[in-house]
């Protein structure tokens, strides 16, 4: 099978039927592995083709499909695109990806790639993926056709076919094990540390919270008098809360949340103010600020709470031990980290440029300086022509 589907086509018109097939038929249908984002249906085309492959116990199937770069790496671990790549690679169906030159197509000048997918890999190719960099395999056309300014000659096609068939590493060919493209996306947490105090600035922050604002509102819209009574009662509660908090303004900065909450409860109780738990939580949040020198905030079981603003992620290769990676890459910089294993996801991506990157040293400073002076001279000459 051969296909050149449209690049980056949106599949919203077919969304209903595609999602229904995915949900109801799973791997019994065409899209069991996952669904890509709505604005690019490339991997839906590939899944459709894979669903038509003959049984590997018989003749099997080899297919080729032309893509842009997006299906190689778009989507983080756990996303539809990553899950589709994972399904293909872990089933050992991806045989080869060839990076083609740009400006090969009439309506786009982007770089393109074709994937060779098969369920009848030869013995030496099993468990491996071949990458071929053919971006330099082109000849310039004498006359362009739209965006098409380059083409691959017969001789270059023969050379690419030879590179594919020989299955040897070289300047244009890299061969990897399947798991080289897999990684674990690790969620790195750090403890929440807050200080607490009563200042005008933090009080203003409290006044803007939804829980505080709702105190002076009423749901009794049909009964005007009852609504007015409820609103006045709410406004009084707001004043009572603010007056009680003002008595804490001389307590300074408190760096332990449990101590501050106990102090709040004691203050409200002494002032005869009833504060529901949800509102109390909003008050505590409004009167807090992050502080690295403060005590760690803990949950009801005594475990440290994660700080969502400090949350980070690490992509650890499947072939590497997670603990060793974290000791080397994270521990020296963030000694108080921990991993939330419940959020760990396995992903697959193929960063083609990383494997064929060639370092190009920067130009010498003298050359750059000479160019800048030449440009400055040209600008001065142009300005003199305008001002004369």
CATH number of 2-181: 3.40.50.150
Which pLDDT does position 218 carry in this prediction? 76
Domains of the chain, residue spans: 2-181, 194-290
Give bridge partners of residue 151 from the DSSP assignment. Answer: 139
CB-based contacts of 144, cutoff 8 Å, min separation 6: none
Q: Report d(CA 133, CA 99) in Å as an integer.
A: 5
Which of 162, 163, 182, 181 has its CA nearest to residue 172?
A: 163
For the chain (length 388 residues), average pLDDT per consecutive 10?
Answer: 89 95 95 95 95 90 95 94 97 97 90 95 96 95 90 95 95 96 96 96 94 84 77 90 93 95 95 92 96 94 94 95 95 94 95 85 89 90 81
CB-based contacts of 73, cutoff 8 Å, min separation 6: 349, 350, 351
String of DSSP letters for 319-385: TS-HHHHHHHHTTTT-TT-EE-GGG-EEEE---HHHHT----PPPPHHHHHHHHHHHHHHHHHHHHH
Which pLDDT does position 57 carry in this prediction? 86
Which pLDDT does position 129 carry in this prediction? 97
Which pLDDT does position 271 carry in this prediction? 92
Which of 130, 100, 132, 129 has its CA nearest to residue 113?
A: 100
Which pLDDT does position 25 carry in this prediction? 95
String of DSSP letters for 48-75: HHHHTPPPTTTT--EEEEEE-SHHHH-S
Which pLDDT does position 345 carry in this prediction? 96
CA trace torsion 87, 93, 96, 102 (10° rounding): -50
Contacts of 142-146 with C-beta under 8 Å, sequence gap 24+, read 145/106, 146/106, 146/107
Token pair belonging to 208 = 């803007």
């Amino acid at each position: 099978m051969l296909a050149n589907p449209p690049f980056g086509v949106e599949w919203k018109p077919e969304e209903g039927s595609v999602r229904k097939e995915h949900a109801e038929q799973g791997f019994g249908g065409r899209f069991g592995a996952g669904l890509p984002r709505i604005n690019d249906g490339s991997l839906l085309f590939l899944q459709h083709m894979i669903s038509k492959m003959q049984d590997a116990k018989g003749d099997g199937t080899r297919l080729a499909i032309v893509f842009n770069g997006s299906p190689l790496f778009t989507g983080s671990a756990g996303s539809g695109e990553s899950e589709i790549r994972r399904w293909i690679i872990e089933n050992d169906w991806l045989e080869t990806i060839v990076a083609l030159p740009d400006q090969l197509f009439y309506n786009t000048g982007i770089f393109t790639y074709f994937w060779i997918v098969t369920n009848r890999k030869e013995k030496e190719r099993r468990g491996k993926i071949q990458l071929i960099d053919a971006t330099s395999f082109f000849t310039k056309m004498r006359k362009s056709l739209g965006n098409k300014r380059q083409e691959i000659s017969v001789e270059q096609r023969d050379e690419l076919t030879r590179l594919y068939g020989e299955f040897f590493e070289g300047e244009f060919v890299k061969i990897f094990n399947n798991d080289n493209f897999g990684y674990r996306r690790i969620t790195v947490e750090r403890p929440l540390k807050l200080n607490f105090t009563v200042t005008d600035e933090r009080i203003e922050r409290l006044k803007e919270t939804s829980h505080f604002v709702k105190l002076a509102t009423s749901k009794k819209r049909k009964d005007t008098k009852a609504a007015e009574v409820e609103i006045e009662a709410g406004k009084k509660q707001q004043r009572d809360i603010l007056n009680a908090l003002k008595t804490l303004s001389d307590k300074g900065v408190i760096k332990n949340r449990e101590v501050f909450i106990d102090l709040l409860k004691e203050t409200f109780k002494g002032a005869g103010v009833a504060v529901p738990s949800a509102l109390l939580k909003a008050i505590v949040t409004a009167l807090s600020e992050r502080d690295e020198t403060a005590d760690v905030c803990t949950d009801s079981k005594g475990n440290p709470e994660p700080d969502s603003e400090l949350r980070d992620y690490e992509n650890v290769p499947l072939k590497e031990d997670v603990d060793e990676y974290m000791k080397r890459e994270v521990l020296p910089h963030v000694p108080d980290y921990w991993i939330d294993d419940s959020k760990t996801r396995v992903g697959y991506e193929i960063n083609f440029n990383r494997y064929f990157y060639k370092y190009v040293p920067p130009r010498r400073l003298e050359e750059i300086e000479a160019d800048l002076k030449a440009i400055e001279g040209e600008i001065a000459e142009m300005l003199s022509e305008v001002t004369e």
